[in-house]
Amino acid sequence: MSQRAPAFPKTSARRPSAVWKVLTSTDHKSIGLTYMGVAAVFLVLGGLEALVMRLQLAVPGNRLLAGETYDRFLTMHGTTMIFFVLLPLLLGFTNYLLPLQIGARDMAFPRMNAFSLWLLVGGGLLLYLSPLTGAPSQGWFSYAPLSETPFTPQRGVDLWSAALIVGGYGTTLTAVNVLVTGARLRMRGMLYKRLPMFAWMSWINGFIILFALPCLTAVLLMLEVDRLLGAGLFTRGDPVLWQHYFWLFGHPEIYLLILPAWGLISEIIPVFSRKPIFGYEFVAWSTVAIAFLSFAVYAHHMFAVGLGWPVELAFGTTSMLIAIPTGIKVFNWLATMWKGSVRYTLPMLYAAAFIVQFTFGGVSGVTFAVVPIDWQLTDTYYVVAHFHYVLFGGSLFAVLAGLHYLYPKFTGRFLDERLGRWGFWLNVIGFNGVFLVQHLLGLMGMPRRVYTYPDLPGWGALNLFSTVSGFVLGVGLLLLLVNLIRSRTHGRLAGRDPWNGWTLEWLTDSPPQEGNFSQLPPLHSRRPLWDLKHPDDMDHVRPRRHDKNGHIREEERGHQ
Amino acid sequence: MQSDRASRTHLGMLAFLASDAVIFLLMLVSNIYLRRSEAHGGQSLLEPGRMLVFSVLLWGSSGVLLLAERQRGRGDRVGAGTLYLVTALLGAVFALAQGLEWRSLAAQGGTISSSLFFSTFYTTTGLHGLHVLLGLPVLLALALLSWTGQIGRRAPGVAAAVLYWHFVDAVWLVLYLVFYVWRGP
């Protein structure tokens, strides 16, 4: 590539401020970190909303958030967490890590990348401006006709729709970027079968985003045609159409909120078990299977609608099928740890908690595939417990694992170990305390989406337990936040490759320089850094902590 | 390097259009699905013959665009620029015709709230019209850049813009068949 002389030579003595740099950057690393920062702000907002809701539910007959006020908190909490916390967190990791892992200098379209970020931020701002015109109270699922003008007349719903459409276009453009980056910018020798697991899963995730988000855009456009122009597609037409389209987006959405998280876990577990991932091909191809099936299971959200027995059987079956590729992943992670030299550092602790909690959430998910059980449990707290186990206990814990894993790369410093462990245990205890008991409440028949409940035996005690645990969780996350800020300046220095990793991102400085790599090593296996460190033992089939004679390898001794 | 960037941009546009196509698909399905519940949705108000004339102009614009691309490949900057302009003009005529059709339909009582057929008709053709309108400035920009000699033989953005326009025309073919020709389920 020829270097063009700058058209306007820099003459100003004033350097741009750090804030201005972040706002105008097109570097994928800066954009990735900004995504995470934005997500952190929304996590605080969404978390506070959740805590206020838990306060309301602490005792039966409470009137802290009576009636529609509760619905407003419910709507904001759900929308925030799904669209403006988990999504930007995962997009942040993808942005940061994907080019580094495939040996690229940046994403395929750096300027569009920045545009996507600011579209998402704009969406978030629209969402939090919506209360000014009457807070939306229709829930994040926005079921028509309840979301139509006669039932929810406030204009906030329109801003809510606009927020999701704007943010959704940001995400769609990111998916385009991810797909082209993965398809075109891989370094020489980085075949698809050698992609690091995170890169592989983020790339597949691009396809899900590409086909799931337009379903949301379409259905929101139709809702707004109804609300603003009086068309009546879902009132005089068919309200079930809303549910079909919404869940055609909504179910794949769940998978697009967890695929990159699985990718992070698939990076962390091998490194801290000192073994390559077990069954690479199975982990990779099960991702493709999940991408297809994620669309084929959507109607399991609608078993109570009355779709007819054949349809319900079909979707019940596909929903059970999707447990197979998901289970494959879980077993492969376990098999990777099996007989490995597991180091229980903070990232690994979070990864282990992820496996336990995600498996729990996955299994309770399978119970919904049994149609009669779904009829019994739908719209109870059992559902709430299930999806929080998957999205919080699964996805968010995986993100936290990834955050502890990559923090040294982001900043050049480790997170504080003691503070981190306190945060970890408070998070695990708090999280399970909040949601484990909600399974029981659901089985006892406590309905979801209602602001209060009668004083039935056990309900008050379990709800109080859930609320108290919620505050424990809040303290845990607060400690994490303190750790993130404090360790940036006070943390132990990490160096390039603090965990003795195998993928290309650990080859770069911490934090990596602009353009990422000064030079790239020849690539002929899935673990280029292993090859660099072991020129005598390249492409070793089962590289692990011990050598062929059973002795711990020299270079492994220094690492915890 | 140039051709690599071109192929990248092309692939990116392809991915985006795949995503865009899903929106049109769902809108069409809603039309087909909701039409079942209406005996007379107002489709009889449409004039397939009259609209066919303007549709042919729109589809023809894709042909003109192919010619423009050929001229660009030959290095004929002025010729290519003029053909880009003709493409844009044909698109503009179509958009205008659609606007006039909407006005006449509304005058006859076919409004967005009068029937489910028209709800989906306006939503879908409106979205398509928006695509046409967004394409016009892009085509005009191509014409200007071509005249002033600022696009080389393989400028990456051009292929993507051309792909977009062909997509918009192809979508109209489906919309025309479903809304104007097909009598419903």
Residue whose C-alpha is closest to residue A126's, from A163, A167, A156, A155: A163
The answer to whether B78 faces chain A, any CB pair under 8 Å, is: no
B-chain CB neighbours of A246 within 8 Å are none
pLDDT at B36: 84
C-alpha B161/C-alpha B158 separation (Å) is: 5
A-chain CB neighbours of B33 within 8 Å are 238, 241
Distance in Å, alpha carbon of A22 to nearest chain B alpha carbon: 25
End-to-end CA distance of chain B: 51
pLDDT at B183: 87
* ipTM of the complex, rounded to two decimals: 0.94
Query: Smallest Cβ distance to B15: which of A176, A219, A241?
Result: A176
B-chain CB neighbours of A176 within 8 Å are 12, 15-16, 19
A-chain CB neighbours of B7 within 8 Å are 184
B-chain CB neighbours of A183 within 8 Å are 11
Q: What angle do CA A392, A398, A402 make, to 5 degrees?
A: 140
Distance in Å, alpha carbon of B83 to nearest chain A alpha carbon: 29
C-alpha B72/C-alpha A424 separation (Å) is: 62
Q: Quick one: closest CA in A to B38, which residue?
A: A237
| pLDDT beneath 50, residues of chain A | 1-2, 560
Give the least confident one: A214-218, B30-34, B75-79, B154-158. Answer: B154-158
Mutation target among B11, B17, B123 for the A interface, most CBs of A within 10 A: B123
Highest mean pLDDT among A10-19, A113-122, B29-38, B65-74 belongs to A113-122
In the predicted structure, residue B128 carries a pLDDT above the cut 90: yes
Query: Smallest Cβ distance to A232: which of B7, B23, B119?
Result: B119
pLDDT at B147: 93
Q: Do B30 and A214 touch (CB under 8 A)?
A: no
pTM: 0.92
Distance in Å, alpha carbon of A283 to nearest chain B alpha carbon: 25
The answer to whether B3 faces chain A, any CB pair under 8 Å, is: no
Query: Smallest Cβ distance to A176: which of B12, B27, B119?
Result: B12
Q: Do A176 and B112 touch (CB under 8 A)?
A: no
Q: Do A180 and B11 touch (CB under 8 A)?
A: yes
- According to DSSP, residue A392 is labeled I
pLDDT at A101: 96
In the predicted structure, residue B1 carries a pLDDT above the cut 50: no
Query: Smallest Cβ distance to B33: which of A179, A217, A241?
Result: A241
pLDDT at A9: 56
Query: Smallest Cβ distance to B18: which of A210, A231, A232?
Result: A210
Query: Smallest Cβ distance to A109: which of B7, B12, B33?
Result: B12
Mutation target among A109, A113, A179 for the B interface, most CBs of B within 10 A: A179
Q: Do B30 and A232 touch (CB under 8 A)?
A: no
B-chain CB neighbours of A231 within 8 Å are 112-113, 116, 119, 122-123
- Whether residue A121 contacts residue A38, with contact meaning beta carbons closer than 8 Å, is answered with yes
A-chain CB neighbours of B112 within 8 Å are 225, 229-231
Mutation target among B119, B164, B171 for the A interface, most CBs of A within 10 A: B119
DSSP-derived 3-state class of residue B42: coil
A107-111: which pairs have CB atoms within 8 A and are 24 or more residues apart? A107/A28, A107/A177, A107/A178, A107/A181, A107/A185, A108/A177, A108/A180, A108/A181, A108/A184, A108/A185, A108/B8, A108/B12, A109/A176, A109/A177, A109/A180, A109/B8, A109/B9, A109/B12, A110/A26, A110/A27, A110/A28, A111/A26
Average pLDDT in the B59-79 region? 93
A279 backbone φψ class: left, alpha, beta (φ>0; ψ -120 to 50): left
pLDDT at A16: 76
